[in-house]
Amino acid sequence: DGVIWLDGELVPWRDAKVHVLTHTLHYGMGVFEGVRAYHTESHGTAIFRLQEHTDRWCRSAHIMRMDMPYGKDILNEAQKLVVRENNLEEAYLRPMAFLGSEGMGLRADKLKTHVMVAAWEWPSYMSPEAREQGIKIRTSSYTRHHVNISMCKAKANGNYINSMLALREAIECGCEEALLLDNEGYVAEGSGENFFMVRDGIIYTPELTSCLDGITRNTIFQLAAEAGYTIKEKRITRDEVYVADEAFFTGTAAEVLPIREHDGRVIGAGRRGPITTVLQGMYFDAVKGVGNK
């Protein structure tokens, strides 16, 4: 049931299909977003940081040399429309631009860029316990490799193979998430989250050289400034994480997710730390609040 926005039209969910020769299915050249709509009694339903997501989506397309066939206003409207037409109060949205089935080969110069937006109900990525108690993570044997590093500003389909392998590996080892390092061995990010740690009252996060320019990450920068905390971007080694006072992940799906254990070492007091608690609270207020328009 429901509708999906596909190339400018709302089509029934079951008819929103692609051909098996869809180029993106074969070579992975496509760009997407993960967006969320939140609902409160006072503000109704609103998409959090819609413009920022649309901007990043278009930047990703530009990096990948894909011609986005619609302007940002239409892309914004499409996302709002999909939430409204599906009668969703809270939703996860998946916008994507992909190359069609008009021809194969790596030149891809005759191909059309197709655009779709789907949305569905997806209340929480992690359990309430995980949000409160924190999760166990481990360093991944998969790295943010060269392509990811040069293309990390793009949320591109092909970049997620390592993320998937890393997450599966972490789950097989009894953890909830993976921490990927960059080619030089410094902390990059989670499979789909940015990483932060706290030491002696200062918040640290990796520079944008090996991680996605996360919209939640940006929001945390704003909230930390509001709360009077100092945030520093720097290269982080895995042993610095072991002796951190607090650590947490951020992402549209994961929101603000405390980390209580890394590679078998307890982080800080082994539960959500005080600064994480403040920022998590501020984040939930922001997604549900007046700033969310």
Catalytically active residues are: 155
Residue 41 CB, nearest distance to ligand PLP (Å)?
Answer: 26
Q: Which of 30, 95, 134, 192 is close enough to bind ligand PLP by CB under 6 A?
A: 192
Instruction: Judge whether 113 and 99 are in contact, CB under 8 Å.
Output: yes
CA–CA distance, 24 with 275 (Å, rounded to integer):
42
Of 54 and 194, the one with the shorter C-beta distance to ligand PLP is 194
Site map 214..253 versus ligand PLP, x via CB under 6 A: xxxx--------------------------------xxx-
**Contact set for ligand PLP, span 79-138 (CB under 6 A):** none
Q: Which of 113, 140, 194, 210 is close enough to bind ligand PLP by CB under 6 A?
A: 194
CA angle 13, 17, 20 (to 5 degrees): 160
Q: Tell me which residue of 103, 98, 99, 102 sits closest to 118, measured CA to CA.
A: 98
Residue 103 CB, nearest distance to ligand PLP (Å)?
Answer: 29
Helix axes 72-85, 50-63, angle to 10 degrees: 130
Of 111 and 189, the one with the shorter C-beta distance to ligand PLP is 189
Of 111 and 135, the one with the shorter C-beta distance to ligand PLP is 135
Contacts of 107 (CB under 8 A, 6+ apart): none
Q: Which of 2, 34, 69, 158 is close enough to bind ligand PLP by CB under 6 A?
A: 34
CA–CA distance, 86 with 266 (Å, rounded to integer):
43
Residue 216 CB, nearest distance to ligand PLP (Å)?
Answer: 3
Residue 14 CB, nearest distance to ligand PLP (Å)?
Answer: 27
Of 100 and 214, the one with the shorter C-beta distance to ligand PLP is 214
Q: Which residue has the tokens 């991680």?
A: 211
Q: Tell me which residue of 215, 293, 218 sits closest to 47, measured CA to CA.
A: 293
Cα four-point dihedral sign 64, 67, 73, 75: negative
Of 157 and 252, the one with the shorter C-beta distance to ligand PLP is 252
**Contact set for ligand PLP, span 148-187 (CB under 6 A):** 163
Is 189 a binder of ligand PLP (CB under 6 A)? yes
Is 212 a binder of ligand PLP (CB under 6 A)? yes
Max intra-chain CA distance, the chain: 57
Site map 39..78 versus ligand PLP, x via CB under 6 A: ----------------------------------------
Contacts of 31 (CB under 8 A, 6+ apart): 57, 60, 61, 64, 66, 96, 97, 154, 155, 156, 157
The DSSP secondary-structure symbol of 97 reads: E
**DSSP letter string, 186-203:** -EEEESSSEEEEEETTEE
Residue 240 CB, nearest distance to ligand PLP (Å)?
Answer: 20
Count interface residues toward ligand PLP (CB under 6 A): 15
Is 36 a binder of ligand PLP (CB under 6 A)? no
Footprint of ligand PLP on this chain (CB under 6 A)? 34, 163, 189, 192-194, 211-212, 214-217, 250-252
